[in-house]
Structure 1
Amino acid sequence: MDSHHQTAHRMGLTALTIMTASNMMGSGVFMLPSSLARIGSISVWGWVLTFCGVLALALVFAKVSELAPCKGGVIANIGHAFGPYIGLQATLFYWLSTWIGNCALLVSGVGYLAYFFPILLKPLYAALTCITLLWGFVILGLQGARIVGYAQIFTGSCMLIVILSIGISGWFHFDYGLYTQFYNVTNQSNTHAIMAAAVISLWGFLGIESASVSEAQVINPKRNIPLATICGLAIAALCYISSSNVIMGILPHSQLLASTSPFADTARFLWGPTVGQCISAMAIIACLGAMPGWQILQTEVPRSAAEAGLFPRMFAATNQRGVAYKGLICTASLMTGVILLTISPNLEQQFRTIITLAISACLIPYAFAAVSLPVVMVAKKLRHSRQFAVYSSLSLLGLAFIVVVLMGAGTQALYWGVMMQMITIPLYLLFVIRQQTFKGTPVTPFFSEQCFGHGPSVPNSAGNTDGRYRIDTVYKED
């Protein structure tokens, strides 16, 4: 396939920015008001804390993409900075978080669809609808990133209409007394409530790395990825903070807690059932429209890992449009299983269960990705520059934020995090065995020219090379 044909299926800056914002907002905005209502309006401080932490991570991720662009983005760079075991662990965790999070997208979309078809409030019908929609998006995803980008311009526009119609117009009907009446309903301290809100709010910003991870599907990635990352974050943050707080000052607290479609219910409360139906219809399009963008993420990271020998080779297989089709079908099958296993009589409860799993999976790769930037800068001999001090501080700030979120996530997130970490130990053994089995065949070493060009192998005690690469030559200067 020639380079011109490959470029024809890639995304430009506009589509990439909308995909980044859409991935973040589509991953949480439409159900988050109901989830945050269980904490109270004090959750606004959780939003502020989360925005500061995610902004630090966004700047770090953008800088990594500028200094060390490669397939798989910042997630792939973790392995280059810390070695194949950490690379395997981070890639596996991130991969889990993407396709588990996609299950929450489907649940949220079906929650709004139930506005029109109340039968979908029944758990079995809701699950079957989620699965049907899932496989429909698999068919769309197989058509290539450019088609996905065009689709997300339309669905992202629907998302902005829904959010801004409530987030701007709703302030004219905002009831401050109602907003402050349920300030902290957790029966815990304010500090604990803010930390708990930060955990849920972080779910809303998952996808900040979307542009970086999609590097192989982007036109002019060195310029477009940093711009799309920062612009996408700004759009998402503005929409989130405005809409989620104004809804708490409009809908009665008891109604918001029980709502499976808070934006549609707010529109109906303000402007009547007809407008409520229009908002619900656009929310369905917008929420489910984020699915194709997330499908790119859930295939590009394992694709990069497969090319590096960390994942099975089937994840690297692509169709004529450059889509890792086997990986897409595999993750869709796993998502089908998660949807069936998490069926709950309450859609909001199912949503919270799924996002807890997704957040548990994403925290470790985010932590390593934050620290990978100083490693890259040292390897590129930039540690004596002013930028090194600034970006190292941002990396530490991002890492501290992740620690706070982990503390606020509670024992369930810690439990799942430890369990998933244990799973990576035998998987790494399989990776080592596989590398030995395929020795002498074209299996790409983890430190490779995939991103930065081959560096000379490090001689072992016998004077032979053993496949290890020096970090200063892996991250060689341009």
Structure 2
Amino acid sequence: MKNNKSTSFGLAITTSLVIGTMIGSGIFLLPASLAAYGGIGLFGWLFSALGAICLAWVFAKLSQWQPGLGGPYHYTRIGIGEFPAFLVAWGYWISIWTGNAAIAMAAVSYSKLLYPPLAESTMMSTSLALAFIWLFASINLLGVREAGLTQLLTTCFKAIPLIAFGLIGIFFIDIEQITFETTTTESLPGSIIAAAALWLWAFLGIESASIPADNIREPKKTIPRATIIGVLLVAIVYLLGFVVVLGVIPAEQLAKSDGPFADASTIIWGSWAGIAMTFVALVSTLGALNGLILMGGQMPLAAARDKLFPKLFGRLNRRSTPSLGIILSALLTSTLILTTVSKNLLGIFNFAILLSTTSILIPYVFCSAAAFRFQESGKQKFKAVSLIIITLAFLFSLWALAGAGQEAVYWGFILMLLGIPVYTGLKIASDKQSQPDNE
């Protein structure tokens, strides 16, 4: 599908997709999780950042070699085959609508800090989460361009304050407070790996720019640039922010913090800054929600065009958006949110989030493998450095998948198998359409 310049994304919006999806709600709580590792968390950042950069390079190259709607799904289909591509699209779609439920609830949590009465009403909290889902689903239904502009706006509102926090806050840190002593019983290598595993989740979303490829101006140029720029900027923002928080909040206090960035801002500039940073966290979370809803419509659209997903996901409204797919995903997310109203069903919600983690990581493994094929196909001149980076990206993806934990990998595999009847049904329907009428 060709797009004119008035409806397609340029470098700014495409880069905002990467930044806006990667910087979600997790980074604002991550320093508290890393408090037990102290300064060793910096080595964990370095490990995950290098792995993310290798993956960014892989997606940048894939978008140059074989650009196409659906990103990871597209690369897997042409590089490895239809069935693995279906598994990527199937798992990614489910991970998005389940993950969006968690993101909406995280947004409600930040809203409670800004408006405490929300914490006293389950109905109000649930209604607000549903409102967030349908607000951004509606924006996406208005058009890809509108969703892209919303993404750019929310990304600016969170990236600029975070950059300012890191660049200015660095002058307020107590360098003696950043020690490499840990409160865990793990060895130094074990602590670095454990810290890197925590950092990993903050780097997910590297593939974001590649998914709406048909809506991006000059995708062979724009997607690689946006991917590399986005990942590098996010890595720098994370590093600066973590150093400031670590150098401002005492370790024992940091480990108990419910909002490390807000607490650090309060210590440096006062209570108004803490409130402002909480608002930034809210905007950041909502921006990630908007980006994921966009991708949750685009990847199934690509698979539906190839007859590897139900037809309804390929139907476009008059604004050229996959409206039925977006609406169905929003309905499923809403249903999942409503399960949290009952404490007895809260386990279902947590279980669904567990499933989504593996589904996000598996495309990284497939895409790294697909890059080997395109690199060695003769379409691009062979470079030893290129092969090394692809290998590192593949190994990092496997490590990330293993780091998700046995339970996540186990149930993620079951989730993939549940897609087999869907795939089989699509193939049966395709066979019937291709058979000649002998009557």
Match of 1:265 in 2: 263
Helix, strand or coil at the partner of 1:321: coil
Match of 2:172 in 1: 173
Q: How does 1:313-462 map to 2 (within 5 A)?
A: 313-341=311-339, 356-379=354-377, 381-382=378-379, 385-387=381-383, 389-439=384-434
Deviation per CA, 1:200-250, whole angstroms, max 9, x where unpaired?
A: 322212211111111011111111111111111111111011112321232
Moved more, 357-366 or 424-433: 424-433
The residue type equivalent to 2:382 in the other structure is R
Partners of 2:155 and 2:348 lie apart in 1 by 25
Helix, strand or coil at the partner of 1:115: helix
Residue pair 1:98, 1:298 contacting (<8 A) in 2 also: yes
Match of 1:134 in 2: 133
Partners of 1:350 and 1:114 lie apart in 2 by 23
What's the offset of the Cα at 1:121?
4.0
Match of 1:48 in 2: 46
Aligned pair partner of 1:78 in 76, 79, 94: 76
Unaligned runs of 5+ in 1: 442-478
CA gap of 1:419–1:191, structure 2 versus 1, over 3 A, is: farther
What's the offset of the Cα at 1:338?
3.2
What's the offset of the Cα at 1:364?
1.3
CA gap of 1:354–1:122, structure 2 versus 1, over 3 A, is: farther
What's the offset of the Cα at 1:372?
0.5
Residue pair 1:34, 1:258 contacting (<8 A) in 2 also: yes
Q: How does 1:80-95 map to 2 (within 5 A)?
A: 80-95=78-93
Match of 1:295 in 2: 293
CA gap of 1:289–1:278, structure 2 versus 1, over 3 A, is: same
Unaligned runs of 5+ in 2: none
Residue pair 1:214, 1:297 contacting (<8 A) in 2 also: yes
CA gap of 1:221–1:373, structure 2 versus 1, over 3 A, is: same
Residue pair 1:342, 1:354 contacting (<8 A) in 2 also: no
Moved more, 67-76 or 286-295: 286-295
CA gap of 1:191–1:339, structure 2 versus 1, over 3 A, is: farther
**If each structure's helix is expressed as a fraction of its own residues, which one has the higher value?**
2
Residue pair 2:44, 2:193 contacting (<8 A) in 1 also: yes
Helix, strand or coil at the partner of 2:434: coil
With the length of structure 1 as denominator, give the TM-score of the two structures. Answer: 0.82
Residue 280 (structure 1) aligned with residue 275 (structure 2): no
Residue pair 1:104, 1:354 contacting (<8 A) in 2 also: no
What's the offset of the Cα at 1:395?
1.8
Partners of 2:291 and 2:73 lie apart in 1 by 17
CA gap of 1:223–1:108, structure 2 versus 1, over 3 A, is: same
Q: How does 1:244-255 map to 2 (within 5 A)?
A: 244-255=242-253
The percentage of counterpart residues that share the same residue type is 32
Moved more, 427-436 or 210-219: 427-436
The residue type equivalent to 1:219 in the other structure is R
Residue pair 2:376, 2:382 contacting (<8 A) in 1 also: no
Helix, strand or coil at the partner of 1:29: helix
What's the offset of the Cα at 1:350?
11
Partners of 1:43 and 1:353 lie apart in 2 by 28
Partners of 1:130 and 1:259 lie apart in 2 by 24
Helix, strand or coil at the partner of 1:386: coil
Residue pair 1:123, 1:343 contacting (<8 A) in 2 also: no
What's the offset of the Cα at 1:352?
8.7
Partners of 2:311 and 2:416 lie apart in 1 by 22
Q: How many residues align?
A: 432
Helix, strand or coil at the partner of 1:323: coil
Q: How does 1:145-160 map to 2 (within 5 A)?
A: 145-160=144-159
The residue type equivalent to 1:147 in the other structure is E
Helix, strand or coil at the partner of 2:320: coil
What's the offset of the Cα at 1:311?
0.8
Partners of 1:123 and 1:397 lie apart in 2 by 48
CA gap of 1:400–1:216, structure 2 versus 1, over 3 A, is: same
Deviation per CA, 1:11-41, whole angstroms, max 9, x where unpaired?
A: 1111111221111112532232233336554
Q: CA RMSD in A?
A: 2.8
Partners of 2:410 and 2:201 lie apart in 1 by 18
With the length of structure 2 as denominator, give the TM-score of the two structures. Answer: 0.89
Residue pair 1:97, 1:359 contacting (<8 A) in 2 also: yes
Residue pair 2:165, 2:241 contacting (<8 A) in 1 also: yes
The residue type equivalent to 1:55 in the other structure is I
Deviation per CA, 1:264-314, whole angstroms, max 9, x where unpaired?
A: 222122211122222222332233123222222111111101111111000
Partners of 2:179 and 2:354 lie apart in 1 by 27
Partners of 2:134 and 2:145 lie apart in 1 by 19
What's the offset of the Cα at 1:64?
0.8
The residue type equivalent to 1:386 in the other structure is F
Deviation per CA, 1:122-162, whole angstroms, max 9, x where unpaired?
A: 68344432222111111111111222222233221211233
Moved more, 85-94 or 169-178: 169-178
Helix, strand or coil at the partner of 2:179: helix
Partners of 1:61 and 1:24 lie apart in 2 by 15
Match of 1:12 in 2: 10
Match of 1:62 in 2: 60
What's the offset of the Cα at 1:254?
4.8
Residue pair 2:72, 2:88 contacting (<8 A) in 1 also: no
Residue pair 1:168, 1:242 contacting (<8 A) in 2 also: yes
What's the offset of the Cα at 1:119?
3.5
Partners of 2:223 and 2:44 lie apart in 1 by 27
The residue type equivalent to 1:403 in the other structure is L
Partners of 2:189 and 2:120 lie apart in 1 by 37
